[in-house]
Amino acid sequence: MNHSVTEPSRLQKWCAGILVVGYALVTIMPLAWIIATGFKSPGDAIAYPPKLIYEPTLEGYVNLFTTRSRATPETLAQLGPPETWYDAIVRQYDMVISGPSRYGERFVNSVIIGFGSTFLSIFLGTLAAYAFSRFKVPLKDDLMFFILSTRMMPPIAVAIPIFLMFRQLGLSDTHLGMILLYTAVNLSLSVWLLKGFIDEIPVEYEEAALIDGYTRFQAFYKVVLPQATTGIASTAIFCLIFAWNEYAFAVLLTSGTAQTAPPFIPTIIGVGKDWPAVAAGATLFLVPVMVFTILLRKHLLRGITFGAVRK
Amino acid sequence: MTDDIISRERAAAPGALRRRIGGLSDRALAWIFIVPTILLLLAINIFPLIWTIRLSLTNYRANRTNAELEWVGLRNYERILTDPDIWNSMQATAHFLVWTLVFQVLIGFSLAYLINKKFKGNDLWTTIIVLPMMLSPAVVGNFWTFLYQPQIGLFNYVVAFVSGVDPSSFSMIGDVRLAPWSIVIVDTWMWTPFVMLICLAGLRSIPDYIYEAAEVDRASRWRQFWTITIPMVLPFLMLAVLFRGIENFKMFDLVVQLTGGGPGSITELTSINLKREAFEKWRTGYSSAYAIILFVTVFGLASIYVKALNKVKER
């Protein structure tokens, strides 16, 4: 009989399962609510009691991507019938679309800054992690601790001089400035995580390559890098998620051209309390991360604990 | 076979491989690989820190760059430490810090313990529980203000449904007594999974044979839990508390979007207070001193805590 003392009984498994599933259902309720609200009409969104069943509409998304202005009945009559489905939605409220909103731009900024800083922190992080893992570096432990300690600063505390420094260098509100800043914040994580991954690759492979006449750099590039791909990929996801979600620096250091989505989304609400538009903006911004997390759960979950426990 | 040759060669000439020329020497390469990282960190972390220290000794205001700069010595520090407003934010931060840690440790450990029973499909449910911590705190915090609306919010509706009170009779973010708890609830919802994952790593690191030995010794399950499970998970749990503690001491984005520090200044955590001093009142010198005090506090508390952690690990 396959019954060890450490294997939980059937009953225990059932009870544990029910409790965990119950908690999970409660925990995703707010997220489900965000997604659901995005497809409600403004009236349904603020109905009491909260509506579970409603007629889905894309009004929230139309309002998210457009700016609208009120039109008099005469102008509306002059315009003739609405040309597109989104025109039709807006006309119900005696409004006309006057142009695109800023959401698209902000979203693109998030993508540029997110991917730019991830690339840079992985590039620099891999080099540094390799050196720390393989070479004798003077003051190695101190340098590693220094790299880690940069994470203890509250963002607002560093924001004051960075604000002044960026103003001086003309980096305020630029993509480059934000990419450099997020790279610096992410470097501590990427160096620490990647060093852990590279430490696990046996040194013998490189030494064999060195004997075969590779230079040290070739050995790094052709032998170590391909083996570290999984580690690099999961570190990259963490860097990307951080840059994607960051708010404090973004709200203090950007206002126009380089503003990312997190400081922008709360401003969508405006005076009209347009909750469906906010929910639509939040949905488009959050859902990619949720899908990512579910698809890549094996690597991510390992990465979180791994990174934390290593430190 | 090849392994053999390599190890023999290594034994014969330990330094020879490392010094192998052909391209760059290892030493040069090490520096080329490390220096960019260090430089960037110096430029964006250390240089600003030194600058902050310098500013903290002046009356500089970033919105009036032409005004005459005056050295005020330690007067900024003196004023901060005697300012009742700042002690208020310190208290708000302490309340937030203590209760989020209590709830996250209790719920996080319990969940990890249950998940470790390895029921079917546990990894998918674990992922669903983890979702909130992957999301943008500012965006999520902003949306929670909707869930907290007195009449129409989902949170109030659910509470009313369960307890029978009128959903419009209380306002989580508008009431002075409830607002401090509203931020604790959202932070707990968001970050319990982090504590859970680290506890799970701890639970999975306990080898089965320890329990088997205890079983042979006829130790009860209850006793096994307190003498094996808890002590073995404790270092992991303490690590989780350290990370959450540092993060929540710095807490800004979630709370600023959720309550904005209000009502009044009841949830004005130190970071929010600091932001107000630095970027709304533009008292740059004063707020630089404030930033330094906060940094020293985190650093000091974290070092004391790490010492305690190491003691636990040694046992």
With beta carbons less than 8 A apart as the criterion, state whether B283 and B277 touch.
yes
Query: Do the chains contact at B243 and A308, CB–CB below 8 Å?
Result: yes
Q: B13 at the A interface (CB within 8 A)? A: no
Measured between alpha carbons, how far is B123 from B274 in angstroms, rounded to an integer? 41
Residue for token pair 């390559």: A209
Q: What is the DSSP string of A104-136?
A: HHHHHHHHHHHHHHHHHHHHHHHHHHHHHHHS-
Query: Do the chains contact at B137 and A247, CB–CB below 8 Å?
Result: yes
Residue for token pair 């620096």: A249
Return phi, psi of residue B104, to 5°. -65, -35
- Which parts of chain B register pLDDT below 70? 1-23, 315
Q: Name the minimum distance, in Å, from the CA of B115 to any CA of chain A.
A: 7
Q: Name the minimum distance, in Å, from the CA of B303 to any CA of chain A.
A: 11
Residue for token pair 């979950």: A301
Residue to test with chain B: of A160, A204, A240, most B Cβ within 10 A: A160
Count other Cβ atoms within 10 Å, centred on residue B312: 12
Angle, helix B154-163 to helix B137-147, in steps of 10 degrees: 50
Which chain A residues have a beta carbon less than 8 Å from that of B302? 152
Query: Do the chains contact at B49 and A161, CB–CB below 8 Å?
Result: yes
**Longest alpha-carbon distance in chain B:** 83
Res. A306 pLDDT band, cuts 50 70 90: low
Residue to test with chain A: of B76, B125, B135, B217, most A Cβ within 10 A: B135
The chain A residue lying nearest B25, using CA atoms, is A216
pLDDT at B4: 45
With beta carbons less than 8 A apart as the criterion, state whether B311 and A187 touch.
no
Three-state SS string over B150-164 comes to: CCCCHHHHHHHHHHC
Q: How many alpha carbons lie under 13 Å from residue B86 in its C-beta half-sphere?
A: 18
Q: What is the pLDDT of residues A89-124, one digit of tens each?
A: 888 877 888 888 889 999 999 999 999 999 999 999
Question: The CATH number of B80-314 is which of 1.10.760.10, 2.120.10.30, 1.10.3720.10, 3.10.20.600?
Answer: 1.10.3720.10
pLDDT at B13: 45
Query: Do the chains contact at B295 and A157, CB–CB below 8 Å?
Result: yes
Cβ-based neighbours of A120, under 8 Å, separated by 6 or more:
A179, A180, A183
Nearest Cα neighbor of A260 from A101, A113, A63, A119 is A113
Fill in the DSSP letter of residue B71: B
Res. A152 pLDDT band, cuts 50 70 90: confident
Q: Which residue in the set B3, B138, B152 is minimally distant from A247, CB to CB?
A: B138
| pTM across the whole model | 0.87
Query: Do the chains contact at B48 and A165, CB–CB below 8 Å?
Result: yes
Residue for token pair 């949830």: B267
CA B305 and chain centroid, separation: 14
Res. A138 pLDDT band, cuts 50 70 90: confident
Q: Name the minimum distance, in Å, from the CA of B205 to any CA of chain A.
A: 11
Nearest Cα neighbor of A244 from B254, B138, B244, B146 is B138
The chain B residue lying nearest A22, using CA atoms, is B125
pLDDT of A260 above 50: yes
Look at residue A70 and give its three-state secondary structure.
strand
Query: Do the chains contact at B274 and A156, CB–CB below 8 Å?
Result: yes
With beta carbons less than 8 A apart as the criterion, state whether A120 and B40 touch.
no
pLDDT at B19: 47
Cβ-based neighbours of A276, under 8 Å, separated by 6 or more:
A37, A38, A39, A40, A41, A42, A45, A59, A60, A63
- List the structure tokens of A299: 């690597």
With beta carbons less than 8 A apart as the criterion, state whether B256 and B280 touch.
no
Fill in the DSSP letter of residue B45: I
Fill in the DSSP letter of residue A7: S
Mean pLDDT is lowest, of A49-53, A198-202, B66-70, B249-253, for B66-70
pLDDT at A250: 92
Q: B29 at the A interface (CB within 8 A)? A: yes
Which chain A residues have a beta carbon less than 8 Å from that of B257? 247, 266
Task: Find residue B58's DSSP bridge partners.
Answer: B71
CA angle A233, A133, A123 (to 5 degrees): 40
Residue to test with chain B: of A14, A15, A19, A20, most B Cβ within 10 A: A20
pLDDT of A65 above 60: yes
Query: Do the chains contact at A308 and B284, CB–CB below 8 Å?
Result: no
- List the structure tokens of B184: 């604790």
Q: Domain residues of chain B, as ranges?
A: 16-55, 80-314
Q: Name the minimum distance, in Å, from the CA of B138 to any CA of chain A.
A: 6
pLDDT at B16: 46
Count other Cβ atoms within 10 Å, centred on residue B304: 10
Which chain A residues have a beta carbon less than 8 Å from that of B300? none
**Longest alpha-carbon distance in chain A:** 85
Angle, helix B84-115 to helix B270-279, in steps of 10 degrees: 140
Q: Within the 67-106 window of chain B, which residues sit less than 8 Å (CB to CB) from chain A?
A: none
Quote the ipTM score.
0.86
Which chain A residues have a beta carbon less than 8 Å from that of B124? 297
Q: Which residue in the set B52, B139, B284 is minimally distant from A285, CB to CB?
A: B139
- Cis bond before residue A49 (omega within 30° of 0): yes
With beta carbons less than 8 A apart as the criterion, state whether A5 and B215 touch.
yes
Res. A87 pLDDT band, cuts 50 70 90: confident
CA B171 and chain centroid, separation: 28
Return phi, psi of residue A84, to 5°. -125, 170
pLDDT at B7: 45
Nearest Cα neighbor of A98 from A60, A61, A65 is A65
Could you tell me which residue, B242 or A311, shows the higher pLDDT? Answer: B242
Q: Name the minimum distance, in Å, from the CA of B214 to any CA of chain A.
A: 10
pLDDT at A270: 73
Return phi, psi of residue B78, to 5°. -60, -45
Stretch A276-286: mean pLDDT? 92
pLDDT at B3: 45
pLDDT at A109: 94
Measured between alpha carbons, how far is B244 from B247 in angstroms, rounded to an integer? 5
The chain B residue lying nearest A262, using CA atoms, is B139
Q: B224 at the A interface (CB within 8 A)? A: no
Task: Find residue A97's DSSP bridge partners.
Answer: A68
Measured between alpha carbons, how far is A64 from A227 in angstroms, rounded to an integer? 44
Return phi, psi of residue A68, to 5°. -130, 155
Query: Do the chains contact at B257 and A308, CB–CB below 8 Å?
Result: no
Which chain A residues have a beta carbon less than 8 Å from that of B201? 305, 309
Nearest Cα neighbor of A184 from A153, A209, A208 is A153
Nearest Cα neighbor of B234 from B278, B272, B198, B280 is B198
Res. A147 pLDDT band, cuts 50 70 90: confident
Query: Do the chains contact at B40 and A278, CB–CB below 8 Å?
Result: no
pLDDT at A80: 78
Q: Within the 162-201 window of chain B, which residues sit less than 8 Å (CB to CB) from chain A?
A: 167, 189, 194, 197-198, 200-201
Look at residue B46 and give its three-state secondary structure.
helix
With beta carbons less than 8 A apart as the criterion, state whether A278 and A268 touch.
yes
CB pairs under 8 A between A and B: 314
Instruction: Classify domain A104-310 by CATH architecture.
Output: Orthogonal Bundle (1.10)
Q: Domain residues of chain A, as ranges?
A: 1-101, 104-310
Cβ-based neighbours of B98, under 8 Å, separated by 6 or more:
none
Measured between alpha carbons, how far is B207 from B211 in angstroms, rounded to an integer? 8
Measured between alpha carbons, how far is B151 from B235 in angstroms, rounded to an integer? 44
pLDDT of A60 above 50: yes
Q: Give A34: exposed, middle or buried? Use CB within 10 Å, 0-12, 13-18, 19+.
A: buried
The chain B residue lying nearest A248, using CA atoms, is B253
Alpha-carbon dihedral sign for residues A29, A30, A35, A40:
positive
Q: Name the minimum distance, in Å, from the CA of A187 to any CA of chain B.
A: 7
pLDDT at A307: 53
What percentage of chain A carries pLDDT values higher than 70? 95
